[in-house]
Amino acid sequence: MLAILFNRPNRCLPARFNVQLATLAISSLLTSLGCGTHDGSTPTASISAESSGHTAQAQSLEKPRVNTQPKVEVRTSAGQFTLQLDGKAAPLTVQNFLSYVDAGHYNGTIFHQVFDGFIVLGGGFDSEFIERATQPPVRNEAHNRVKNRRGTIAMTRQPNSIDSATSQFFINLADNSSLDFAGFEPDQYGYCVFGEVVSGMDVVDRIAKGDVHKTERFDNVPTQPIVIEAMRSLK
């Protein structure tokens, strides 16, 4: 199993994200598979030997749901927040996310890495750090040019593979322009924003402020596990 995010020395992300450092870090990531930087410059999903084959071809879901702004309630061990998804800007991504929600995939998973002032990351592992099985990856819709602003939710992916997002997602804690679409190369394509937190952002901030530690597999793991107890679509 490859570590999720970061392969620079272990340290907490500064409150303000250094864009120049991020640019250098993102460039260096292209030489590594499935890893990002310790400083939080690139939200990168982990892959395993069993799931790595999924990156070969992204799924193209053809019939997105009629409701273009569905809401999802997220109940965590730290409190509850609500997402409003943007099916108009990112129809494939929203449909992909809702398929995981409806299947109960996220129930019992954790926010396995948090970087105060940057992002909180979740959607892939349970509290025992057992990886959840995923569907084939979804087409990256970051070319919708929706910005990674504070409070938005976006998909993680591999830095060297544009269309490699599956179930893992992150919530932006700041305006992270370095993660926006800037071109059609893998290091420019960015991360697809597909919704935002419309209530309970204080809960997300509380998650980000908790103590973290380094484990054998991951950096910046919450010392007190933050469990997603349930996610459900609101009709």
pLDDT in tens, 28-81: 332 232 333 444 567 766 544 344 444 445 655 555 455 889 999 999 999 999
The pLDDT assigned to 52 comes to 43
pLDDT value at position 67? 81
Q: Is residue 199 part of a domain?
A: yes
Q: Domain holding 48: CATH number?
A: 2.40.100.10
136 lies in some domain = yes
Backbone φ, ψ for residue 171 (5° rounding): -115, 130
Where the chain has pLDDT below 70, the residues are: 1-41, 44-66
Q: What is the pLDDT of residue 94?
A: 97
Identify whether 59 is part of a domain: no
The reported pLDDT for the residue numbered 40 is: 54
In a domain? residue 113: yes
Has residue 8 been placed in a domain? no
On whether the CB atoms of residues 234 and 70 are closer than 8 A, the answer is yes
Domain count, the chain: 1
**What integer pLDDT is reported at residue 42 of this predicted model?**
72
Mean pLDDT of the chain: 82
Q: Evaluate whether residue 116 is within a structural domain.
A: yes
